[in-house]
């Protein structure tokens, strides 16, 4: 089975070509391939396949634990680069079908190479079945969460097609991502678990963010998480858009169009491609 390896600001993915007949992966295969020491190593697996509802292509995205996610902002940029350069979908604007709806992508292409991709991430939602109710109707998105790690934590919850819980911190580099992140991910307030962002507001139009990603753990970046943190920064009155979101793996820019849709822009990089060995045991 042929595979391709990509990353977007350090958030890395194995991409499978469903256009050529490669079957969709099983959860066991996803977990095996994503292991850093015995597999290919990745935060997730993207299955690129023909459209089902009128788009240019369809994306299925699997977390490293084998669970399927609704959407991935970094992953969809990598998918656009793969479709343009490897599948031959030579369009500077693409419509991609995801479990979170249609996404419009605009590609920055130089000399036949996709350097950056801007994704229309749609409207953020402060009320969703995947999110807890706010503490007060007058403060949408604001939730108090009782935790073992840090006591009562004030957070901002928003859906970008997938659930996010944003916690403001004074210093993102010192935030308890590895301990508080998994506790909040699995908190009973979130029926489908949640992604957790630790956000530090900085001088100028910049925020720093670290992400505990649902079903993966801490990642170098998260596109939907960057958007969620930007929404939180605006709603709590700390910043306006556009914002530069500094993540451990690089920076993304989040802005908004005239309809209030969030636009997320960042790079996509092909790292390598290869063939899975038939003699290697890549399944559990």
Residues marked as catalytic: 72, 222
Main-chain dihedrals φ then ψ at residue 79, nearest 5 degrees: -60, -40
Distances from the Cα of 87 to the Cα of 29, 71, 82, angstroms: 23, 21, 7
- Structure letter (DSSP) for residue 67: P
Task: Quickly list DSSP for 127-183.
Answer: --TTSPPPSSTTSTTEEEEEETTTEEEEEEEEESSSEEEEEE-S-GGGS-HHHHHHH
Check if the beta carbon of residue 89 is closer than 8 Å to that of residue 56.
yes
Distance between CA atoms of residues 243 and 206, nearest Å: 6
Distance between CA atoms of residues 55 and 225, nearest Å: 25
Where does residue 7 rank: exposed (0-12), middle (13-18), buried (19+ CB within 10 A)? buried
Task: Quickly list DSSP for 86-104.
Answer: II----SEEEEEETTEEEE
Distance between CA atoms of residues 249 and 142, nearest Å: 28
Helix and strand counts by DSSP (H, E) for the chain:
4, 18
């Amino acid at each position: 089975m042929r595979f391709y390896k990509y990353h977007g600001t350090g958030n890395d993915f194995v991409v499978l070509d469903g256009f050529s007949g490669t079957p969709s992966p099983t959860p066991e295969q996803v977990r095996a391939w994503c292991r850093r020491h015995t597999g290919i190593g990745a935060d997730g697996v993207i299955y690129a396949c023909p459209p089902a509802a009128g788009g240019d292509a369809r994306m299925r995205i699997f977390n490293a634990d084998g669970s399927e996610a609704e959407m991935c902002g970094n992953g969809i940029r990598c998918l656009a680069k793969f479709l343009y350069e490897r599948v031959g979908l030579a369009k500077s604007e693409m419509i991609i079908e995801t479990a979170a709806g249609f996404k419009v992508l605009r590609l920055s292409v130089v000399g036949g190479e996709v350097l950056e991709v801007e994704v229309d991430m749609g409207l953020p939602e402060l009320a969703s079945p995947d999110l807890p109710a706010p503490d007060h109707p007058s403060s949408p998105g604001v939730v108090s969460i009782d935790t073992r790690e840090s006591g009562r934590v004030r957070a901002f919850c928003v859906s970008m097609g997938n659930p996010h819980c944003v916690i403001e911190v004074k210093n993102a580099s010192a935030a308890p991502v590895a301990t508080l992140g998994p506790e909040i991910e699995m908190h009973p307030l979130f029926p489908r678990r949640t992604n957790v962002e630790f956000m530090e507001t900085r001088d100028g139009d910049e925020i720093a963010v670290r992400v505990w990603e649902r079903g993966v753990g801490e990642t170098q970046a998260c596109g939907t998480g960057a958007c969620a943190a930007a929404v939180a920064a605006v709603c709590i009155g700390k910043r306006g858009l556009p914002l530069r979101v500094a993540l451990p793996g690089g920076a993304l820019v989040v802005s908004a169009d005239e309809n209030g849709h969030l636009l997320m822009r960042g790079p996509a990089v092909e790292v390598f491609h290869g063939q899975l060995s038939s003699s290697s045991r890549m399944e559990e």
